[in-house]
Amino acid sequence: MLNIGDKAPDFTLLNKDGQAISLSNFLGKKIVLYFYPKDNTPGCTKQACAFAGLYREFQNRGVEVIGISKDSVASHVKFAEKYSLPFILLSDPDRVAIEAYGVWQEKKMCGKTGMGVVRTTFIIDEEGKIAKIMPKVKPDTNAQEILSQL
């Protein structure tokens, strides 16, 4: 379990262009790192579009936005193109970052229990430490909540 003040676990994952991106590449910059269940689903689309709509404001504050799901690079390409998503999407099919951040958890959906990604957002400071953890966030208000706290 991660806590505020912990060093954010580093990872290297592929972005939608197939380039390897490491969290450590962003030291010196504040990061909004959000984990979401699946591309092109209603909640995940709302969340991504909300971040896209506010992306310029995040950039103006020197903040990078990174979204991570288990989806493939090809899925991220389609998702980003369909909704004009300007921020970084990373593919984590082996759940490297997902498990390191503790967001792979038991979930209940439609009366069934199974494992999945629990929608969670982390704010990581310029030193690479976790400044805030927001578990089980609401997809349509998450981006605005974060922006108002920065």
User: What amino acid positions are annotated as catalytic residues?
Assistant: 44
β-strands 20-22, 12-15 pairing: antiparallel
Rounded Cα–Cα distance for residues 93 and 78 (Å)? 16
Count CB neighbours of 127 within 10 A.
11
Strands (E), 1-150: 12-15, 20-22, 30-35, 63-69, 88-91, 104-109, 112-117, 120-124, 130-135
β-strands 30-35, 63-69 pairing: parallel
